[in-house]
Structure 1
Amino acid sequence: MSTSFIEQVHYNRIPVKDLELSAHWYRDILGLPLLSLNEELAILKINDGPSLLILVPTPDETYAHFTINGTQAFSIAFTSQDIPGFHQHLTDHKVKVDDIQHNDGHAYFHFHDPNGNKFQVHW
């Protein structure tokens, strides 16, 4: 097969414990527009692109990341043109963030949402 039937990623689903708290955190701390919130899910938009984040409530101990040899590994990475500013913003809001790392002109860091989901931000 030379071409894919897949055009783009439309959305990622993220498990959360408290849907309303999480929806407002993603809106207020990450600055993502909250398009919809009901008891079943919250829909947030990422800028002007087609990508959405869907927050889904669950009582289970489950996360949007996985582990490799017992170490958490992110599955979703965001981009930001202002890595230091975003890092400081999250730090100011008491978000669990790792130090900024640099690798061949590539800067990145990891952070966790209030539910313990691990993400990466890079540029």
Structure 2
Amino acid sequence: MSNSFIEQVHYIRIPVKHLELSAHWYRDVLGFQLLNNTQERAILKINEGPFLLILVPTADETFAHFTIDNKQEFSIGFTSPELLKFHQHLMDHQVKVEEIKEDNGHVFFHFYDPNGNKLQVHW
């Protein structure tokens, strides 16, 4: 099999209802670096990696997750070496979080941004 022409994922776009509020939430609660914030989008960087998260404002009822059998499924998964501390941090900031689960040595939980986008973090 040959190598892909695609080198890596550069960014993922997330729909948000309130761009300014969302940009500050991702910066202040999740600790992402806010690189650019205009009326059309907010660009955030996660640590030193090349990956970007772009928040795009919309009035539509849409999310960055999908459903299977009418059950919400996340599209974006993050990693955190301090899963328990991160879970508590989110609860301390009144973020909607689900309980921590373990599946064959895979520890994870789901949480929601202020726009209702379902996200996952694991370790």
Report TM bin, short chain. over 0.9
Q: How many residues align?
A: 123
In the alignment, which residue of structure 2 is the partner of 1:98?
Answer: 98
State the 1:3 CA deviation.
Answer: 1.1
Query: In the alignment, is residue 28 of structure 1 matched against residue 28 of structure 2?
Result: yes
State the 1:76 CA deviation.
Answer: 0.4
- Taking structure 1 as the reference length, the TM-score comes to 0.98
In the alignment, which residue of structure 2 is the partner of 1:49?
Answer: 49
State the 1:2 CA deviation.
Answer: 1.5
User: Secondary structure of the equivalent of 1:109?
Assistant: strand
Alignment of structure 1 residues 1-123 onto 2, 5 Å = 1-123=1-123
Identify unmatched segments of 5+ residues in structure 1.
none
* AA partner of residue 40 (structure 1): E
* C-alpha separation in 1, matches of 2:80 and 2:115: 22
State the 1:105 CA deviation.
Answer: 1.8
User: Secondary structure of the equivalent of 2:35?
Assistant: strand
Q: Percent identity?
A: 70
* C-alpha separation in 1, matches of 2:82 and 2:103: 16
Structure 1 vs Structure 2 CA RMSD: 0.7
State the 1:77 CA deviation.
Answer: 0.1
Identify unmatched segments of 5+ residues in structure 2.
none
* C-alpha separation in 1, matches of 2:28 and 2:121: 17
User: Secondary structure of the equivalent of 1:25?
Assistant: helix
User: Secondary structure of the equivalent of 1:27?
Assistant: helix
* AA partner of residue 24 (structure 1): H
* C-alpha separation in 2, matches of 1:41 and 1:48: 21
